Chains A and B, each alone.
Chain A
Amino acid sequence: MPSVRIPTPLRKLTGELEVVQAAGATIAEVLHSLDQAFPGLKERICDDAGQVRRFVNVFVNDEDIRFLEESATPVKDTDEISIVPAIAGG
């Protein structure tokens, strides 16, 4: 299963786990299974329409999914997904 790096603001929902495993062949599927394992996680990352929130960046390995296929971006078992707050820098 792909591994997912959880940012500090969401670790209360994962029992303080920094990295978790979540099944799925796309980012959308991974977010769905994350929400099954840790209820409430998805609504923090996605808005009501199911889109990744404006202030959240999701990376597959080192690439921002906005440069790939957004939430339809395919993921492999060996991939590392990172959820990173967008508000930083400048």
Chain B
Amino acid sequence: MNPTPFFSNLKCRECGRLYPKQAIHVCDFDFGPLEAAYDYEAIGKVLSRKVIESRPHTMWRYRELLPIDGDPTVGAEVGFTPLIKADRLAKILGIRELWIKNDTVNYPTLSFKDRVVSVALSRARELGFEVVACASTGNLANSVAANAAAAGLKSYVLIPADLEQGKVLGSLVYGTQVIGIHGAYDQVNRLCSEIAGKYGWGFVNVNLRPYYAEGSKSMGFEICEQLGWRIPQHTVVPMASGSLLTKIHKAYKEFIQLGIVADTPFHMHGTQASGCAPISHAIKRGTDIVKPVSKPDTIVKSLAIGTPADGYYAIHSMKQSGGSAEDVTDEEVVEGIRMLAEYAGIFAETAGGVTVAGARKLIESGHIGAGDSAVLCITGHGLKTQEAIVGKCGAPRLIAPNLREFEEKIYAPDAAAASI
């Protein structure tokens, strides 16, 4: 495979020092994050709307802007999830126009994490790794397990021991090595940093993180294309590490730079659960110093990161774009899940509840104008976090299998209620 001429180096986001495209993720000098650097001039000569539109409906239609050398060998079918115009939900939330970017149906593991894993594992293969791994709150573990299985890579997924059953089973089924850690996600993360340094495995979100994180840009590219090649006025994104928000922002800026979309005003908004909201709280305090949360306490386990790696950059994305942040209680999360289901027909996991409930607050407070248009990023499927809503959506009404019971217990009372 010929190396792509478009992806040139890794580059420290803090000091700009250049590094070779290896499995490294922090700058030797100041520990700043390494990011993929591209030759945008070269990309501009080959990439256009027409070229993109001629390609298959996957995230790899933007491959010049994704950091691997050859063609993708893992997850070539990932992405290009539906962008849904949600008129009924818009009305309930009090906004003129609302779109849902629906990654609950991303392939193959029903969350946006398939995007980042596709890039990370394709790159892991290019770099010659045989064992891949991750620190995860669940969705990433599912995706690493599934994609590694399909690719024939050995995988280890390290998770907090108390995750939702759907997320644990959703990793185990692929035959991966699931390691439950007695501790919170941040402790899992620290352990993975130490293992990656010592044993040289390909940790997708540690030493392969510069490649991994870029995969999230594809969500931003798709939103622009599906809106008819424009950037939405408002984008609402759930925040754990803050990486997804930062990378969608980067995607918009890259499309502007390449002339693929017009440079129209846009605002990035982030949402978190109040029981673990270090980024949202920093924004509300008007600072870019993220105060870590030592003991996250929320039903939203997928966002329960107390020391968010990209918190600082997410804050700057929101500030730069004139956006804002909001956090919501566990009760509001459940309401958000139900609103999205009842008014848009989409069953999201707890992080989706955070996004919907957070958007509602941002609209109520005027941070998102009632006459504006917004895209909500819904990142994972509700079947994975059923514990959060068990007993909170009612229960089936039980009857005997005969018409008399149906008429007495269901039809008649419902007809009476409807006529009131």
- Which 7 pairs between the two chains have the least Cβ-Cβ distance? A90-B241, A89-B189, A55-B31, A8-B197, A87-B33, A85-B26, A9-B28
Provided the pairs A57-B307, A62-B187, A66-B292 are in contact, do residues A89 and B205 lie with their beta carbons within 8 angstroms? yes
Query: Which residues from chain A contact B190 at a C-beta distance below 8 Å?
Result: 57, 59, 82, 84, 88
Please report B residues at the A interface, Cβ cutoff 8 Å: 14, 25-33, 135, 185-187, 189-190, 192-194, 196-198, 203, 205-206, 209, 240-243, 292, 294, 305, 307-310, 312
Is there a chain B Cβ closer than 8 Å to A5's Cβ?
A: yes
Q: Mark contacts of A35-60 with chain B using CB atoms, 8 A cut-off: 1 yes-contact digit, 0 otherwise.
A: 00000000010000000011111010
Cβ–Cβ contact A7 & B197, under 8 A: yes
> How far, in Å, is B201 (CB) from chain A's closest CB?
13
Cβ–Cβ contact B31 & A89, under 8 A: no
Cβ–Cβ contact A44 & B31, under 8 A: yes
In the docked arrangement, what's the CA distance between A58 and B29, Å?
16
Query: Which residues from chain B contact A18 at a C-beta distance below 8 Å?
Result: 198
In the docked arrangement, what's the CA distance between A44 and B30, Å?
6
> How far, in Å, is B322 (CB) from chain A's closest CB?
24
Among B193, B241, B243, B312: residue with most chain A CB under 10 A:
B193
In the docked arrangement, what's the CA distance between A55 and B27, Å?
10
Please report A residues at the B interface, Cβ cutoff 8 Å: 5, 7-10, 12, 18, 44, 53-57, 59, 62, 64, 66-67, 82, 84-90
Query: Which residues from chain B contact A55 at a C-beta distance below 8 Å?
Result: 14, 26, 30-33
> How far, in Å, is B102 (CB) from chain A's closest CB?
21
In the docked arrangement, what's the CA distance between A18 and B14, Å?
26
Number of A-B residue pairs having CB atoms within 8 Å of each other in the complex = 86
Cβ–Cβ contact A85 & B307, under 8 A: no
Other-chain residue from A5, A9, A85, A89 in contact with B241 (beta carbon distance below 8 A): A89
| Residue ID in chain B nearest A44 by CB atoms | B29
6 more CB-based (< 8 A) A-B contacts, given A64-B292, A87-B309, A89-B309: A9-B28, A18-B198, A55-B14, A55-B33, A88-B206, A88-B209
| Residue ID in chain A nearest B294 by CB atoms | A67
Query: Which residues from chain A contact B242 at a C-beta distance below 8 Å?
Result: 90
Other-chain residue from B29, B30, B308 in contact with A90 (beta carbon distance below 8 A): B308
Cβ–Cβ contact B26 & A84, under 8 A: no
Cβ–Cβ contact B31 & A86, under 8 A: yes
Cβ–Cβ contact A85 & B25, under 8 A: yes
Query: Which residues from chain B contact A87 at a C-beta distance below 8 Å?
Result: 25-26, 31-33, 209, 309-310
Query: Which residues from chain A contact B25 at a C-beta distance below 8 Å?
Result: 85, 87-88
> How far, in Å, is B106 (CB) from chain A's closest CB?
17
Provided the pairs A54-B312, A56-B31, A67-B294 are in contact, do residues A90 and B240 lie with their beta carbons within 8 angstroms? yes
Provided the pairs A55-B30, A56-B31, A90-B310 are in contact, do residues A5 and B193 lie with their beta carbons within 8 angstroms? no
Among A12, A44, A59: residue with most chain B CB under 10 A:
A44
Query: Which residues from chain B contact A66 at a C-beta distance below 8 Å?
Result: 292
Query: Which residues from chain A contact B30 at a C-beta distance below 8 Å?
Result: 44, 53, 55
Provided the pairs A84-B194, A87-B309 are in contact, do residues A53 and B31 lie with their beta carbons within 8 angstroms? yes
In the docked arrangement, what's the CA distance between A86 and B30, Å?
11
